[in-house]
């Protein structure tokens, strides 16, 4: 069997409203879709996402000009060795960032194809279980007023979702803490609250924030410092009264190994759309498990549910309710605060044909 087609699409999907975090302001969610087709007529779909669009055009160009030729003629059933060849062929262009976004989309397409070929969902190929996995709702953007913030937290309560994550890093620690206090009051004692700084702080400011949050029942402080500043993370992990989480901006098993060696984290957050796809995500999750850490991935709940079903150290799936109702024809749904992996072949995700036209970027 050989790959005879490898095509890309760039979608730009407007968000329900413009949102902002300490990382930037985002009017859209852009997607790079990669579809492979074999000489037997079978196909697989993978995709990666870019909140706010930055990098999406460059990623598509890299796939079209540099990665697609490496796929044509390859056996799509050999996802792991093919992934190793792609990594070797592109290593001089980058082992982090946009190159890994692209390789992640390709790996996802290969695993989706394997599921379609076998007539099985990906979680079954991985030996995973079908039990629903709890989710937490992500939101709490810095662009929200306090009333809007509390209203969204109330949505999580009414929907039976057991946790909620909000943003900090607006530039005023007291204002950040006041917002956290208000959300904690809405959630009550029975639901978890997570706080995400999006790499906003240096060590001093991160310690100040952690100290300010220590009595508010925060489950974790996420990405408090720059991902690359491992020494700051190591020291923060030693001194912070609040557990730390990170990993969404780390790449490959090698990057995760180095991150985990800081011994700073209480939760690991690999992102299948960035870390290198299914193959590298599983390796990162295994490293976290060997370090005694639960894994709780970043975004893409409809993809991560398959991987979490096969991860013995699975904790929660992040749920960001961003997609308009016309985008997906098929997609795993959140019900009663949890998500179950679908039994459809592959990842069980399909885009509406009209949406592919409506949101297409030439």
Count Cβ atoms below 10 Å from residue 104 Cβ, excluding itself: 29
164: nearest Cα among 175, 173, 154: 154
Taking the C-alpha atoms of residue 139 and residue 152, their distance in angstroms, rounded to an integer, is 8
Give catalytic status of residue 182 as yes or no.
no
Taking the C-alpha atoms of residue 3 and residue 157, their distance in angstroms, rounded to an integer, is 47
| Helix/strand/coil percentages in the chain, nearest 5 | 40, 25, 40
Instruction: Give me the helices (H) in 160-245, please.
Output: 173-187, 203-213, 230-239
* Among 113, 165, 167, 301, the one annotated catalytic: 167
Instruction: Give me the helices (H) in 33-125, please.
Output: 56-62, 68-71, 79-90, 98-118, 122-125
Taking the C-alpha atoms of residue 335 and residue 158, their distance in angstroms, rounded to an integer, is 12
Taking the C-alpha atoms of residue 283 and residue 280, their distance in angstroms, rounded to an integer, is 5
Give catalytic status of residue 167 as yes or no.
yes
**Residue whose entry in the numeric block shows the structure tokens 């530039």:** 171
Count Cβ atoms below 10 Å from residue 169 Cβ, excluding itself: 23
Contact partners, residue 320, CB within 8 Å, separation at least 6: 137, 138, 139, 299, 301
DSSP string of 327-354?
Answer: TEEE---EETTEE----SSBT--EE-HH
* Among 10, 113, 165, 298, the one annotated catalytic: 298
Query: Which are the catalytic amino acids?
Result: 167, 298
């Amino acid at each position: 069997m050989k790959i005879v087609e490898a095509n890309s699409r760039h979608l730009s999907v407007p968000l329900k409203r413009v949102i902002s975090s300490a990382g930037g302001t985002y009017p859209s969610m852009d997607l790079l879709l990669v579809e492979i087709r074999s000489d037997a007529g079978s196909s697989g779909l993978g995709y990666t996402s870019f909140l706010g669009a930055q990098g999406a055009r460059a990623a598509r160009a890299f796939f079209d000009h540099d990665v697609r030729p490496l796929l044509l003629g390859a056996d799509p059933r050999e996802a792991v060795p093919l992934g190793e060849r792609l990594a070797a062929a592109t290593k001089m262009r980058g082992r982090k960032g946009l190159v890994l976004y692209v390789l992640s989309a390709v790996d996802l397409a290969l695993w989706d194809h394997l599921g379609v070929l076998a007539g099985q969902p990906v979680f079954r190929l991985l030996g995973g279980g079908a039990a629903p996995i709890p989710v937490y709702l992500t939101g709490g953007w810095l662009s929200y007023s306090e009333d809007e913030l509390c209203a969204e937290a109330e949505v999580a309560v009414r929907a039976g979702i057991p946790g909620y994550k909000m943003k900090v890093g607006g530039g005023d620690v007291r204002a950040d803490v006041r917002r956290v206090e208000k959300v904690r009051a809405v959630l009550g004692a029975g639901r978890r609250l997570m706080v995400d700084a999006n790499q906003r702080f240096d060590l001093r400011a991160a310690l100040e924030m952690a100290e300010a949050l220590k009595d508010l029942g925060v489950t974790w402080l996420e990405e408090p410092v720059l991902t690359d500043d491992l020494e700051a993370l190591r020291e923060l992990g030693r001194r912070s009264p609040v557990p730390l989480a990170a990993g969404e901006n780390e790449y490959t098993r090698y990057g995760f190994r180095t991150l985990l060696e800081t011994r700073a984290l209480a939760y690991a957050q690999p992102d299948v759309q960035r870390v290198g796809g299914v193959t590298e995500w599983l390796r990162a999750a295994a490293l976290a498990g060997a370090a005694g850490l639960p894994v709780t991935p970043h975004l893409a709940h409809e993809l991560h549910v398959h991987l979490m079903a096969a991860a013995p150290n699975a904790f929660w799936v992040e749920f960001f309710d961003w997609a308009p109702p016309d985008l997906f024809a098929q997609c795993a749904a959140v019900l009663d605060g949890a998500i179950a992996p679908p039994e459809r072949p592959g990842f069980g995700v399909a885009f509406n044909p009209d949406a592919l036209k409506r949101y297409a970027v030439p």
